[in-house]
């Protein structure tokens, strides 16, 4: 794929991830399907049956796998996306973890079918995927625990005292029995006496003019601009007071929540601190330096010498195992040997054939082999390069990337693929 196509595909996947985090159902399966199709698209959909390594990782390999921070971050984000999608389920954390591990297995199979990404299909490569999912699960569990209200908290609005309900009117008015004359109603009370206001001293028909009091200060007219400025200042002050009131209320609610969840906060902070300290110790763990005792009558130290150059991978004796052992003419390609003599190894049940390479050109950076298997009628051609020229003792890192081509005597191609080879010490 071209770099432009890779960038466009990454942008589409990022957009689908953001939409899925917003809770859209359709974006989640679209992200998974397009993400899995990304691997065969890199090889123009030329795939083969994967051969996955099912060996359980040792502690040393487990620590080395945890250095793959890119996959840890990617699968932590995918767990978050799954956690959002399963929000209506009671066991959303369990379902999100299962979905993350399932997608991790599918990614490993896709990488084994296309020889892209990490270039192989191994069980130990699921370790960083599971670590990212568990880390995201822990953070989201602590976050949801802090946001959840306890069962003993009840927000009840204060009710005002209940006003007495008026008596319900009777359905029928009281009717006196026949032959009984009801008493006459009592006379209405007399009206209150009217107060007579005396006339003003000047005997005028209207009210007397009011005299200004000496205590009242004389008023003056305010200019319109000053009045607008004062009104704007009052509005700003009132707005600031409203914002401060809301902020004070938010801080009060946060404090109440923290007091109600103080046990969960302490436990979460303790777990994070312990996990961080353990990860720091494991990642920074180094071998203990040997103790060197000084000789009593040692002579003058020898002059400093330059350290010898590290041995080259192309000169190392041993054999190389391919990441995918293909089969041609009922024989499985199992090994490649460069030193002391270059040859390839094919095996079938009970038989192992070692085919020498007449045309062999091996340099510190590249290798070219042409091995002819006359009895079967096939020719194996290997064109490869060493990613690192120095010998490595890591068993999980490929030391040779090569294109393996198998043709018959008529020149027809029987197999062609890019392989990653892992170096092993001689038996």
Q: What is the pLDDT of residue 198?
A: 60
CB atoms within 10 A of CB 294: 5
Q: Give residue 371's pLDDT band: very low, low, confident or very high (50, 70, 90).
A: very high
What gap in Å lies between CA 87 and CA 101, rounded to an integer?
18
Retrieve residue 337's tokens: 């040997």
What gap in Å lies between CA 353 and CA 371, rounded to an integer?
12
What gap in Å lies between CA 63 and CA 299, rounded to an integer?
43
Q: Which residue has the higher pLDDT, 3 or 108?
A: 108
User: pLDDT tens across 197-247, in order?
Assistant: 565 555 455 555 555 555 555 555 545 566 788 888 888 889 899 999 888
CB atoms within 10 A of CB 94: 12
Could you tell me which of 426, 398, 424, 427 has the C-alpha nearest to residue 320?
424
* 8 A C-beta contact, residue 310 and residue 328: no
pLDDT of 285 over the 60 cut? no
What gap in Å lies between CA 98 and CA 75, rounded to an integer?
12
Could you tell me how many helices (H) and strands (E) the chain has, helices first?
Answer: 8, 9
User: pLDDT tens across 306-330, in order?
Assistant: 677 777 877 888 888 898 888 888 8
Percentage of the chain beyond pLDDT 70 is 73
* 8 A C-beta contact, residue 132 and residue 173: no
CB atoms within 10 A of CB 83: 23
Does residue 277 sit in helix, strand or coil? Answer: helix
Mean pLDDT of 266-272: 75
Q: Give residue 382's pLDDT band: very low, low, confident or very high (50, 70, 90).
A: very high
The β-bridge partners of 371 are 357, 380
Q: What is the pLDDT of residue 288?
A: 46
Residue 82 burial (10 A CB sphere; 0-12, 13-18, 19+) = buried
Q: What is the pLDDT of residue 219?
A: 53
Q: What is the DSSP letter of 123?
A: G
Mean of the per-residue pLDDT values of the chain: 77
What gap in Å lies between CA 6 and CA 33, rounded to an integer?
16
What gap in Å lies between CA 326 and CA 50, rounded to an integer?
10
What gap in Å lies between CA 336 and CA 114, rounded to an integer?
21
Report if pTM > 0.75.
Answer: no
């Amino acid at each position: 794929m071209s770099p432009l196509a890779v960038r466009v595909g990454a942008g589409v996947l990022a957009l689908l991830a953001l939409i899925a985090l917003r809770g859209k159902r359709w974006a989640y399966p679209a992200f998974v399907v397009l993400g899995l199709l990304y691997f065969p698209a890199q090889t123009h959909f030329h795939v083969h049956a994967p051969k996955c390594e099912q060996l359980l990782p040792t502690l040393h390999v487990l620590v080395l796998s945890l250095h793959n921070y890119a996959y840890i971050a990617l699968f932590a984000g995918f767990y978050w996306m799954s956690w959002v999608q399963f929000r209506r389920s009671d066991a959303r954390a369990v379902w999100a973890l299962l979905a993350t591990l399932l997608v991790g297995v599918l990614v490993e199979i896709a990488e084994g079918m296309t020889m892209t990404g990490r270039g192989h299909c191994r069980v130990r490569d699921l370790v960083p995927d599971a670590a990212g999912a568990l880390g995201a699960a822990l953070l989201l569990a602590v976050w949801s625990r802090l946001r959840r209200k306890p069962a003993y908290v009840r927000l009840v609005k204060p009710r005002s005292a209940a006003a007495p309900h008026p008596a319900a009117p009777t359905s029928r008015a009281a009717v006196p029995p026949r032959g009984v004359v009801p008493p006459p109603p009592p006379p209405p009370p007399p009206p209150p006496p009217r107060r007579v206001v005396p006339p003003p001293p000047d005997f005028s028909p209207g009210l007397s003019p009011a005299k200004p009091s000496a205590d009242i200060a004389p008023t003056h007219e305010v200019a319109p601009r000053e009045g607008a400025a004062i009104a704007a200042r009052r509005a700003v002050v009132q707005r600031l007071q409203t914002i401060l009131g809301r902020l004070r209320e938010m801080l009060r609610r946060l404090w109440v929540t923290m007091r109600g969840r103080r046990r969960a906060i302490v436990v979460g902070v303790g777990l994070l601190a312990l996990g961080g300290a353990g990860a720091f110790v494991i990642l920074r763990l180094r071998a203990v330096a040997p103790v060197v005792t000084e000789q009593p009558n040692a002579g003058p130290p020898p002059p400093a010498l330059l350290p010898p150059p590290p041995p080259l991978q192309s000169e190392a004796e041993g054999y190389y195992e391919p990441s995918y052992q293909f089969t041609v003419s009922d024989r499985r390609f199992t090994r490649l040997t460069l030193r002391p003599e270059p040859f390839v190894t094919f095996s079938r049940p009970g038989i192992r054939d070692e085919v020498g390479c007449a045309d062999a050109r091996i340099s510190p950076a590249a290798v070219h082999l042409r091995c002819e298997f006359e009895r079967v009628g096939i020719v194996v051609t290997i064109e490869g390069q060493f990613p690192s020229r120095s010998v490595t003792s890591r068993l999980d890192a490929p030391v040779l990337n090569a294109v393996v081509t198998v043709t018959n005597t008529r020149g027809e191609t029987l197999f062609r693929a890019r392989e990653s080879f892992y170096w092993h010490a001689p038996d």
